[in-house]
Amino acid sequence: MSSNTTANTISSGRLIVAYYPFSLIIVGTILNLTTLFILFRPVFRDTTRQPVVYYMRTIAVFDILMLYGWNLDHYLDIVHGFILLTYTIPTCKIFGFLNYFAGQSSAWLRVFVCLDRYLAVSRLHRTWFNRRKGVSIIISTIITVITLFNLHFFIFACFHRSNGTINPNAQLYRIYPLWDYINLGVYNCAPFIFMVTLNTSVIYHLLQRRQMQIIQNSRIQHRTISITLVITTFLFLIMTIPATIVAAFFFTTPTTTLAKVLDSTLYTYHALSFIIYFITFKEFRQECLILFGCYNYNIFTLSHNSVENFMNDPQIPTTITITPAQQNRHNKTRVYALRCIVGAWLVGLIMLIPIIMSISLSKINVFVHAIIQGTTTVNSYISTTGTPIVSTSNNSVTSMTNNTNVTINPPVRKCQNLTFTSYMSYATGTKPWSVAAGHLNGDNYTDLIVANRNSYTVGIYFNNGDGTFQNQKLVINGSLPQYVIAKDVNDDQNIDILIAESASNAIGVSLGNGYGGFTAEVDYSVGMYPYWIDTGDLNGDQNVDLVIVNDYNSNVDVLLGDGHGRFDTGYTYSTAQYPVAVAISDFNHDANLDFVITEYSSNTISLFLGYGNATFRTRRRFSTGNSPWGIAIADFNRDTHIDVVVANYDDATISVLMSNGN
């Protein structure tokens, strides 16, 4: 198996997932900075009359900060192979705090904007909440309270494990997913309830005022403020709440495509303030057009109370008389605005060109490398491209290597009909996640071991010898048991049980006595969210060693066995984000065991070639289909080399990688 010269080759779909957040950072930062700049222009400087501008300015700042948390990590992980949350202890604390602080602050500032508008239309005179000093105190209080609310990230979060990696949780308690549940309420549910309630009241009062004719000739103003409120609340509902619900209650590792789309949608919401203001806020739009030279400032003079009218302060009635000349100028303004909008779309299209080129170049690079190198053949059956590198037909397999078709014709054998009896069901715990088989009680019958993930138990089923099994016997109380294997780890000829326990970030080892009994579980600390285990003698001492895939930490741990069922910390090797499965074998025929893992987030597998002393060379990466998950290894073409097949979660294919043995 040969390493791809573009080790970081990423599929087209993954490039979009990576570069959309990156583009969003650029575009969102520019738009929010532009919003901030416009809100500091002369027409908005009279904050005594329109203190709500303070809210709008502060929201723009927090919307910028919002883009530099998890959104930035999405790009860094796929393109550069690391995330700030686990890069160093300082970045872990800072960005762990920022991920929640920025969003919660932005949401509650929007709530108080709605409160300000409600008080403006429901009270004949300004209240303390509508005055500049009151607004400043409210903003300071919001920031202070939310800072204190998330201060535990700086105090307790992030620590070094014994193997040198960084755990973003706290040693005293688990931050994730606990804080995701809390964030759902603080960032989404509570603000949304307040926004809907206040906005409904605003619209009601506006309609009442209109019917009572307290505000004259203000139909356009009523409609404008109503549209602004409805758009803001509706977008908050559809763009932020689904992503937070998925993160809190339906989060899986690796992250599903739907979760990534919803996550990107959430961050897009925090880049839309400029567009919302431009569409619904006339004075903001005029200042924007003036700023970019699309509008002549001398066409007409902005009313001193125009911004106040937008905020709909009922105590300053305004009567507007439009002359034909003014109407003509207004029509010209609309033409100018249309031109600017078209220009903005063209700028956005230009920004997409580098992304499209990157996707195209990555495809060309992979194809050219496959032709030049000709050492690794990858086949995605049921390929989304419709042109698999390896094709099958009847009794032959054809592969493309160095522009030469090599056909392998296996011996033709007469196929016998194969059937199965009807299945038999046996009760398990909640959400059985993994199953293993082995001789557990010395009767030479193969028994079963099942990890019941959500009931936190591991059960065994003894074989009756006739293909039926006894009812489940619970032998271990695990901690979110994710994966189970049966292996003799202490060389006593009895099968032992090893469990990847995701909730406690540990590998549990329970030694068997050969009669169906097992010792109390002994836990060995590993990385965050261990997902998969494989075993082998990695250092030539004839003892069983372990390779554990740590899904959340994006690394693998190597634990060295002492031959008595105990394990010592060995080495940790970094991977791309969300590694899932591992398989151990001697891939390059040097008598040293190697291992290969699937990397869900980068659409690759990584091969670690061993030196025979439990250390491994720098990983070599190979492209697969979208979101590789499960893995199996075998010699598929009878050339004595170990090949690899992976199941691709997101594109309903499997990818077969044929090895050349070196």
Q: How far apart are CA 406 and CA 398, in angstroms?
A: 6
User: Across residues 491-517, what is the average pLDDT?
Assistant: 90
pLDDT in tens, 392-414: 333 333 333 333 343 334 444 44
Band the pLDDT of 77: cuts 50, 70, 90: confident
What pLDDT score does 387 carry?
36
Please report the DSSP string for 302-359 in residue order.
Answer: PPTTHHHHHTT-TTS-------HHHHHHHHHHHHHHHHHHHHHHHHHHHHHHHHHHHH
Q: Which two tokens stand for residue 336?
A: 């100018």
What pLDDT score does 228 carry?
65
Band the pLDDT of 229: cuts 50, 70, 90: low
Band the pLDDT of 478: cuts 50, 70, 90: confident
CA 540 to chain centre: 39
**pTM of the predicted model as reported, rounded to 2 decimal places:** 0.51
How many C-beta atoms surround the C-beta of residue 41 within 10 A?
A: 14
pLDDT in tens, 548-600: 999 888 899 999 999 999 998 888 999 988 899 999 999 998 889 999 999 98
497: CB partners within 8 A, 6+ apart: 436, 449, 458, 475, 476, 484, 485, 486, 508, 509, 510, 512, 518
User: Across residues 609-628, what is the average pLDDT?
Assistant: 91
Residue 485 has pLDDT above 90, yes or no: yes
CB 495 within 8 A of CB 486: yes
Question: Is the Cα dihedral 304, 310, 312, 313 positive or negative?
Answer: negative
| Exposure string for 407-434, b = 16+ CB within 10 A, e = fewer | eeeeeeeeeeeeeeeeeeeeebbeebbb
SS3 144: helix
pLDDT in tens, 343-364: 455 445 444 544 444 444 444 4
Residue 490 has pLDDT above 50, yes or no: yes
Please give the helix or strand (H or E) that residue 121 lies within, else none.
helix 89-122
How many C-beta atoms surround the C-beta of residue 293 within 10 A?
A: 9
The phi and psi torsions of 147 (rounded to 5 degrees) equal -60, -45
Please give the helix or strand (H or E) that residue 208 lies within, else none.
helix 190-212
What pLDDT score does 350 carry?
42
- Residue 181's Cβ-count burial label (10 Å; 0-12, 13-18, 19+) is middle
CB 606 within 8 A of CB 634: no
- The interaxial angle of helices 282-291 and 12-38, nearest 10 deg, is 100
